[in-house]
Amino acid sequence: MESELLERIKLDGRIPSHVAVIMDGNGRWARERGLPRYAGHRRGMVAVRDVVEGAVEAGIEVLTLFAFSKENWQRPRPEIAALMALLKRYADSERQELKAQGVAVHVLGELDRLRAGPRAAVERIVGETAAGKTMRLNLMISYSGRDEIVRAVRELARRARRGELDPDEIDESLFGSVLYTAGLPDPDLLIRTSGELRISNFMLWQLAYTELYISSVYWPDFTREHLFAAISDYQRRERRFGRVTAG
């Protein structure tokens, strides 16, 4: 049965095309229960499953999840290993289901830094779900916003050096085309869980006009109903993109 909130947001109709999420609070969720941080990440994976299903139900076209930042490589080795093992487990266990739901999984970030096991699992899920038309799911892994911008600058500089590009031709649209998110609309809504008021080096270019929604819920407790609540809040916003209100 559809939830009342889901019915309400669908009735309104203004479903954000692209929703991005900073999944935060796994560690605190675990600490409050006297559990190791790993337990928080494991429950976080369950939340990922629920929110992905909810996003499909709501009719979101692109869902982008910040799963592992470039900075996260500085965490203790056992925690990194646990996160990578979870990523592999997620990719292996969800592949068929996501394919059946028509979800096309993409992984954006420094995939070449992953070990062979998780990388192969990720490549398999990306390859096997590629034809999905219902929703695109971006898993941001070993990703940071500044790094993405620096890479884009390098790519454009290389083109200019080869004589393929006149620097005066560089505009926002060309710049956007050399980011990981090339061809995608910018996020309409950014959700951050666990109450922190930071962007944390996430999608710095793409979030220019994105509506922000901060939830106090820790990520492992975040459900599709919380996602619907965020969309409902978004539907009450007036987006102006720097202009004045119409009318």
Other beta carbons less than 10 A from residue 21's beta carbon? 28
Nearer to ligand FPP, 15 or 52 (CB): 52
**Separation CA 118–CA 121 (nearest Å):** 5
25 belongs to the binding site for ligand FPP (CB under 6 A):
yes
72 belongs to the binding site for ligand FPP (CB under 6 A):
yes
For the segment 104-123, give every residue that binds ligand FPP (CB under 6 A).
none
Nearer to ligand FPP, 88 or 156 (CB): 88
Q: What are phi and psi of 108, to 5 degrees?
A: -115, 130
Minimum CB–partner distance for residue 57 and ligand FPP (Å): 19
For 38, how many CA atoms within 13 A lie in the half-sphere containing its CB? 12
In degrees, rounded to 5, the angle at the alpha carbon of residue 51 between the alpha carbons of residues 121 and 89 is 20
Minimum CB–partner distance for residue 169 and ligand FPP (Å): 37
Q: Which residue has the tokens 């192969």?
A: 120
28 belongs to the binding site for ligand FPP (CB under 6 A):
yes
**Residues with catalytic function:** 24, 72
Nearer to ligand FPP, 16 or 44 (CB): 44
Q: Are 5 and 54 in contact (CB under 8 A)?
A: no
Minimum CB–partner distance for residue 185 and ligand FPP (Å): 22
82 belongs to the binding site for ligand FPP (CB under 6 A):
no
In degrees, rounded to 5, the angle at the alpha carbon of residue 47 between the alpha carbons of residues 46 and 53 is 95
Choice from 6, 19, 27, 180 touching ligand FPP (CB under 6 A): 27
**Residue at shortest CB range from ligand FPP:** 27
Q: Token pair of 80, please?
A: 């990194």
**Separation CA 163–CA 90 (nearest Å):** 44
State the number of binding residues for ligand FPP (CB under 6 A): 20
Q: Are 34 and 108 in contact (CB under 8 A)?
A: no
Choice from 38, 90, 202, 213 touching ligand FPP (CB under 6 A): 90
**Separation CA 55–CA 64 (nearest Å):** 11
Q: What residues make contact with ligand FPP under the rule CB under 6 A?
A: 23-28, 41, 44-45, 48, 65, 67, 72, 83, 86-87, 90, 139, 194, 219
